[in-house]
Structure 1
């Protein structure tokens, strides 16, 4: 059967993509930020996942105020990089895994999650930047990718608990897929940041690091964090961290932290990154 073996959490800051695309990763400003991903690049190359379920949020590239799905799963064959106003990133197209994606979609709907099924969409930096951070600059991404888009842009976003439960349901769906494949799940977005208003530039290092701690030490606490705490403590965009809880919920009760990285600043945000191995 298919199996989820590990999870990765990572920020998906658009300027990380710019630094990668324009070979700025060795510059003083970016060197330490990107160095925190070197371990993961080597580890992912050794693990060789067949499929990555990549949880991210769209930034008005595929969706806008005309349609706002809470959870949307990409079931198509191919997803192209989106033009976010300055042309598409010069990165490979994402090659999907329609058989597994449709299987997951069916299982989730029958498990009473109201999923939006997407066969055609372009994917923006929320999805492509984590791929660059983990895989570098290959001619083609080395595994299949199933995009899972979550609304954390327009109120109301899903709760952390609902995201956790979705992760558990995804794990059940993957385990019932008959093909013997190695699946990883990545939760992206965050960490603390606010991009506008009087609190623009807000970064809460203590809160971010406790969140990273509790992904393994006390994950049940993370399920109960209310929206207002994310807003108050981590800024208007910190709510993206609920997407990490989809990843964490899919890993089951016991995990081992393999790698962790936290860096400030990158643009006006905090970079967070963690690798978790599923134990049971």
Structure 2
């Protein structure tokens, strides 16, 4: 049977991708950010999964604002990096695991999630930057990746509770897949930030660190936080943190926190990153 062995969460700040692609990771400004990912880059060498289910949000690159699914799963054989206005990132094609994606989609519908199936799309920095941070600059990604797009850009977004339940449903679906696969679930986005309006530039360190504490040890409390609480405390884009709850719920209640990193600033936001190992 397939199993979920670990979970990773990280911010997906666009400027991080630019720093990687332009060879600026050791610049004075960026070096402290990338130091926070040295652990995972070494750890993943001995813990490379067969498949990553990666919860991310599209930034009006493939899913334009005329059609906004709440939850969507990629069904193409491959996905290329989206052109977000400055060309495609020079990263490998993402290869899907179609059989597992189909199984997860079917089980999610059985569990009453009306998941959208997307047969063709490009993937933007929300997905490619986490892959680059973990795997580095490689010719091919060392595992298959199932894109799981979550709407955190257009109201109404899903609640934290709904994302938690989605993570639980993904966990149940993976456990019933008959092939022997090592699966990781990743959550991306956040942490606190706001890109527009009178609070543009907001970073709430106290909120971010409380979120990280609860995510590791009392995650069920996070599922009760409302969208208004995220908006008020973490800014308009801080709602992206609900995608971390998908990852956390998919691991079950018991995890070992192998690594935690938090850094302010990186561009106009805080950066957060965790690595969890699922307990048997």
Pairwise TM-score range, normalised by the shorter structure: over 0.9
Which position in structure 1 is the counterpart of 2:77? 77
Which position in structure 1 is the counterpart of 2:160? 160
Which position in structure 1 is the counterpart of 2:206? 206
For 2:167 and 2:136, the matched residues in 1 are separated by 27
Q: CA deviation at 1:110?
A: 1.1
For 2:216 and 2:137, the matched residues in 1 are separated by 31
For 1:256 and 1:213, the matched residues in 2 are separated by 13
Which position in structure 2 is the counterpart of 1:247? 247
For 2:40 and 2:198, the matched residues in 1 are separated by 36
For 1:161 and 1:35, the matched residues in 2 are separated by 33
Where in structure 2 are there 5+ consecutive unaligned residues?
A: none
User: Any residues of structure 2 matched to 1:266-277 within 5 Å, and which?
Assistant: 266-277=266-277
For 2:192 and 2:74, the matched residues in 1 are separated by 27
State whether residues 92 and 141 of structure 1, in contact with CA within 8 Å, keep that contact through their aligned partners in structure 2.
Answer: yes
Which position in structure 1 is the counterpart of 2:215? 215
- 1:2-53 Cα distance to aligned partner (Å, 9 max, x none): 0000111100001000000011000000001000000001111110111000
- 1:86-136 Cα distance to aligned partner (Å, 9 max, x none): 111011110111010011001101111000011110000000000000010
Where in structure 1 are there 5+ consecutive unaligned residues?
A: none
Superposed CA RMSD: 0.6
Q: CA deviation at 1:65?
A: 2.0
For 2:115 and 2:72, the matched residues in 1 are separated by 6
Q: CA deviation at 1:75?
A: 1.8
Which position in structure 1 is the counterpart of 2:177? 177
For 1:143 and 1:65, the matched residues in 2 are separated by 31
SS in 1 for 2:112: coil
Q: Which runs of 4+ in 1 moved over 3 A?
A: none
Q: TM-score under structure 2 normalisation?
A: 0.99
Q: CA deviation at 1:198?
A: 1.3
Q: TM-score under structure 1 normalisation?
A: 0.99
- 1:217-276 Cα distance to aligned partner (Å, 9 max, x none): 211110011111111111110000000000011011111100000001000100000011
Which position in structure 1 is the counterpart of 2:47? 47
Q: CA deviation at 1:177?
A: 0.6
State whether residues 76 and 97 of structure 1, in contact with CA within 8 Å, keep that contact through their aligned partners in structure 2.
Answer: no
For 1:45 and 1:121, the matched residues in 2 are separated by 29
Q: CA deviation at 1:66?
A: 1.4
For 2:141 and 2:114, the matched residues in 1 are separated by 30
Which position in structure 1 is the counterpart of 2:226? 226
SS in 2 for 1:216: helix
For 1:144 and 1:226, the matched residues in 2 are separated by 33
SS in 1 for 2:271: strand
Which position in structure 2 is the counterpart of 1:134? 134
